[in-house]
Structure 1
Amino acid sequence: MQPPALLPGGPIRDGGDPLSDVSLTFDDNRLTSLVLGQFDQNLAKIERRLGVRATANGNHVVIKGPPDACEQARRVLEALYARVKGGASLTLGDVDGAIEEGVLQGSLFPKQSEPERSAFDEIRTRKRGSVKARTAAQDIYMRALKNHELVFAEGPAGTGKTWLAVGHAVALLERGLVERLILSRPAVEAGERLGFLPGDMKDKVDPYLRPVYDALYDFMDARMVERGMLTGMIEIAPLAFMRGRTLTNAVVLLDEAQNATAMQMKMFLTRLGEGSRMIITGDPTQTDLPPGQKSGLSEAVRLLSGLEGIAHVTFREGDVVRHDLVRRIVAAYEAATRAQVEAGQGR
C-alpha cells in the first residue's frame, strides 16, 4: 500500500482534505497560561469545537488540522491573548464567544466599518467593562435594544436574553439616560407548588427573580445594588402588582414572559410611559401556565410584530452560549418536538 500523496498544504487524509500546521508564540508566559486555562481546559475546548489538535509548550502553541480550522483556532487564541493582555478576565464563556467569532472569519460584522461596529456591538458598564456580542443573533438583539423602545426576545435557555438585557439596562442607568431600573417576573412555579413563602413582599418575590439578581450583580457592585434598592433606583415589581402604574424615565425588564397570561401582558405593555424602555424576554417552549391557558408572550409577538418602535428577536439552539452541553440538550429537545409534529402530521 502506497503512503498518502504529499502536497504543499500537508498530507492528504482519507477524506481528501489537506492537513496544515500553525505555530504561535506569545510574548508572556504568564498571560499564555491564562489563555490556555487551568490544565489547558481552554485549549481543550478549542480542540473539541473546531476539530483540531493543539499542543502547548510554555508560550508556544502548535495547531494541527484542516487549514480553515487551524486558521480559526489561531484567531481564537490571538483574540483571547489580546483580551488578557488588556487586563480582562477570561472564562469558558469568553472562550465560546471567541470561537463563535473565529468561525465567522474573525468578525460577526464583516460588512461594517469599525466606527459602525463600536456604536452597536458592545455594552459598557463600570464593573463589567465592555461586553460584546458572541453570536449574530446577539448582535441583532443588542442593536434592537439600542434602537427600539420595546423589544421582545424569544429563545431557548442560555442564549443571553436576560443577561444582555440587564447589562443594557445598567448601561442606560449609569449614563443617566433613565432614572430607574424596574425588574419584573410572573410568580409562577416551574411545575411545583411551593406553598406559602414567609417574609415581606421582597422576600416572597426574590426566589422568582434570582436569575435577574445574578445578572445584576454581574454588572453592578453589590453595594450599589443594595443602595439602589433602598433609594428606589432599582425596583423589584411582581407582574401581578403593576396594574395602574405609569412607568416614566425607566428601563423595565419582564423576564420569563412566557408565563404571563394574555391579560397580564396587555396590562404590562400599557404601563410604558415617557422616556422609558421595555425589554420582554422568554422561552415559549418552557411555559409553566396551567393547561389551556394562553401565553401572553406568544400572543403579544403575533399581534405587535411589525409595529413601528417595536423589535422582535428570535434566538435558536445554535445561539446557546451557556455551555456546550446546554446547546446539545436544547437541540435534542427541539429534535424530539419536530419528530412529534411530523408524526402527528403523518397521521
Structure 2
Amino acid sequence: MTKKTLDITPNLEPLFGTRDENLRLMEDMLHVRIDLQSDAVLVEGSPQNIARVERIFADYEALRKAGGCPQNGELNGMLRLVVADPAVSLRSVAESGKQRSAGIKRMVQPRSLNQRRYVEAIEQMDMVFGIGPAGTGKTYLAVAMAAAALLAKKAGRIVLVRPAVEAGERLGFLPGSLQEKVDPYLRPLYDALYDLLEPEKVDRMLEKNIIEVAPLAFMRGRTLNDAFVIMDEAQNTTSEQMKMFLTRLGNNSKAVITGDVTQIDLPNPRKSGLIEAMSVLEGVDGIGFVHFESGDVVRHQLVQRIIQAYDNFGRQQPELPLRMGESEGKGASKPQ
C-alpha cells in the first residue's frame, strides 16, 4: 500500500459527484482510500490503482478543457465503466459516446457493462435481443441508437413496434380511430423519441413515415428494407407473432427486440414468444443476446432494490401445480 497526493483545482469538484458519490465509487471499485484536502486529494492503495485514479482525474481535466465535460448521472455511469475495466479510460468512453450521439440531444452513453455490451452488439450485429428488468435502458438505448443511425444515414427509416396485449377486445371501448386506440400502448416509444430529438423534427418524421410507430398486428405481410426496427415489450408476443416479426427483416435492416420475462401479460406466460426465441435462436450466427440484471437499473436507486426484492421473493415461492381438470395454457391461473 502506498500513498500519493494529487493536486486539484476547483474545476475538478464536479468530478466528485453529489455528496462525493463518485469518489466513493472509486474507493469501492478500485480498493483505494481517497481523502479530500483543501487543494489536493490523498489517495492510498496499490500503485496500479492509484495510477488509475490519477488517470481518471487527468482525463476529466482534459475533457473539461476540451469543452466536453460530462456531469451528474452521465458522469457516474461513465465512471462505472472505467473502474470496471482497466482497458477503458474516461476519455475513450466520452469519445465513443460523442460518435454515437451525432445529431441527437443526449449522449448515447452506456452506464453499466451490460449496457455497453448491448450498444456494441447493436453496432456489430443485425439482430439483438435485450432482455432484463424495467429501468435498465433496453428501450431507450435502442431508440437512441436508431435515431443516431437515421441521422447518420445508416438507416432510411425507423420502425417502432409494440404488442398491445393489454387491449384485446377492450380496444372497442376506447374512443377514436384504431391508431388512436393503440397509441397509449406505444407512448413509451414516443417519449424516448421526443427526449432524443427536437419535437418538431420528430413530428415531421412521423408525418412523412420516416419514423413509424405501430402495433405488432400491423407488421404482418410486410418486408422492412433499409430500416432500423425495434420491438418493445416482446415478452407479450406469442410464438407465432414473434416468428412473424423476426421474418419481416429486409435488406440493409437491423432489428432490436427488448423485453422483460418477469412481466408477461399473456394468459399463459409459458407461451411467450420471447422465451421461445431465447431457446430457438441461441447460438444462431448474427443474432446477439444481452441479459440485463438489477444492477443495470438506471432509474431511481429504489427501483434497483425493488427488482432485487421481487427476484428474491420469486425464488422462494414454489410453482403452483395446475388445478384438477385444467390443461397447460387453458384455465391455468395467471401468476401475480
Fold shared per TM-score above 0.5: yes
For residue 164 of structure 1, what is the aligned residue in structure 2? Answer: 141
Secondary structure at 2:185's aligned position in 1?
helix
Conserved 8 A contact 2:44-2:50: yes
In 2, distance between residues paired with 1:59 and 1:256?
Answer: 50
In 2, distance between residues paired with 1:72 and 1:81?
Answer: 14
Worse-superposed segment, 150-159 or 56-65: 56-65
Compared CA separation, residues 250 and 77, structure 1 to 2 (3 A): same
For residue 258 of structure 2, what is the aligned residue in structure 1? Answer: 281
Compared CA separation, residues 337 and 23, structure 1 to 2 (3 A): farther
Q: State the shift of 1:53 in Å.
A: 7.1
In structure 1, which of residues 82, 91, 94 is the aligned counterpart of residue 75 of structure 2? 94
- 1:104 maps to a residue whose letter is D
Conserved 8 A contact 1:121-1:142: no
Conserved 8 A contact 2:74-2:109: no
Worse-superposed segment, 172-181 or 289-298: 289-298
In 2, distance between residues paired with 1:71 and 1:166?
Answer: 37
For residue 316 of structure 1, what is the aligned residue in structure 2? Answer: 293
Q: State the shift of 1:183 in Å.
A: 0.6
Count of matched residue positions in the alignment of Structure 1 and Structure 2: 313
For residue 6 of structure 1, what is the aligned residue in structure 2? Answer: none
Considering only aligned residues, what root-mean-square deviation do their CA atoms show, in Å? 3.7
For residue 8 of structure 2, what is the aligned residue in structure 1? Answer: 26
In structure 2, which of residues 115, 124, 133 is the aligned counterpart of residue 147 of structure 1? 124
- 2:215 maps to a residue whose letter is P
Compared CA separation, residues 232 and 290, structure 1 to 2 (3 A): same
Q: Does 2:274 align with 1:297? A: yes
Structure 1, gaps ≥5 residues long: 1-8, 10-19
Conserved 8 A contact 2:161-2:213: yes
Q: State the shift of 1:258 in Å.
A: 0.6
Conserved 8 A contact 2:98-2:107: no
Q: State the shift of 1:276 in Å.
A: 1.3
Deviations 1:39-59, CA, capped at 9 Å, x for gaps: x44x13542684477665776
Q: State the shift of 1:235 in Å.
A: 0.6
Conserved 8 A contact 2:226-2:250: yes
After the TM superposition, which residues 1-347 of structure 1 pair with which residues of structure 2 at under 5 Å, given as runs? 9=1, 23-27=5-9, 29=10, 31-37=11-17, 40-41=18-19, 43-44=20-21, 46-47=23-24, 50-51=27-28, 60-61=40-41, 79-85=59-65, 86-105=67-86, 107=88, 123-128=100-105, 131-189=108-166, 196-291=173-268, 294-340=271-317
In 1, distance between residues paired with 2:64 and 2:318?
Answer: 47
Structure 2, gaps ≥5 residues long: 322-336
Q: State the shift of 1:130 in Å.
A: 5.1
- 2:197 maps to a residue whose letter is M
Deviations 1:131-157, CA, capped at 9 Å, x for gaps: 343333223222221222211111122
In 2, distance between residues paired with 1:79 and 1:201?
Answer: 52
Deviations 1:102-124, CA, capped at 9 Å, x for gaps: 24336289xxxx7xx97899623
Q: State the shift of 1:313 in Å.
A: 1.7
- 1:32 maps to a residue whose letter is L
Worse-superposed segment, 266-275 or 70-79: 70-79
Secondary structure at 1:237's aligned position in 2?
strand
In 2, distance between residues paired with 1:326 and 1:67?
Answer: 37
- 2:8 maps to a residue whose letter is F
Deviations 1:191-228, CA, capped at 9 Å, x for gaps: xx898333444443333223222322333222211111
Q: State the shift of 1:332 in Å.
A: 2.3
- 1:156 maps to a residue whose letter is P
Conserved 8 A contact 2:74-2:111: no
In 2, distance between residues paired with 1:264 and 1:172?
Answer: 26
TM-score, length of structure 2 as denominator length? 0.77
Compared CA separation, residues 76 and 213, structure 1 to 2 (3 A): farther
Secondary structure at 1:326's aligned position in 2?
helix
Conserved 8 A contact 1:145-1:151: yes
Q: State the shift of 1:92 in Å.
A: 1.9
- 1:94 maps to a residue whose letter is L
In 1, distance between residues paired with 2:97 and 2:36?
Answer: 36
- 1:35 maps to a residue whose letter is L
